Amino acid sequence: MRPEIEVCAAMIYKDGKILISQRPKGDRYEGKWEFPGGKREEGEDLKQCIEREIREELGLKIETEEILFETLYEIRERKIRIYLLRCKLKGMVKKKDPSFHLYRWVTLKEAEKYDLLPPDREFIRKLRQIDLN
């Protein structure tokens, strides 16, 4: 079995809605929706990882507030530890990633209608049980 991979995902909440993004063309999970984020690089802490990923992928500046949830997801003999971090939107920055990432602001109820990846669907269920305000 391959070593465990750590991934950070951002739960950005604004005006009663969360931000979800769609996997770009050419990606293994092309067209699937998820909380935006990505792999943690060596030497990065969770805060550095999520802030870098959101800046690169979506061109957004965020501030990390707390870890909300953590889950271990296994797929194709690979373990992926995913951290969902509550983040605050601080503004826009120039987009650096050449791949196109579509994103939308949706309510938790609306998010359930999207074709979400399994860990993200689990996070949505957990978020519906807590007060996000």
Which fold would CATH assign to domain 5-127?
Nucleoside Triphosphate Pyrophosphohydrolase (3.90.79)
Q: Is 64's pLDDT higher than 90?
A: yes
- pLDDT score recorded for residue 54: 94
Contact 56, 96 (CB under 8 A): yes
Q: Where are the alpha helices (DSSP H) in 34-128?
A: 46-58, 108-111, 118-127
pLDDT > 90: percent of the chain: 71
What's the pLDDT band for 98 if we cut at 50, 70, 90? low
Quote the pLDDT of residue 26: 84
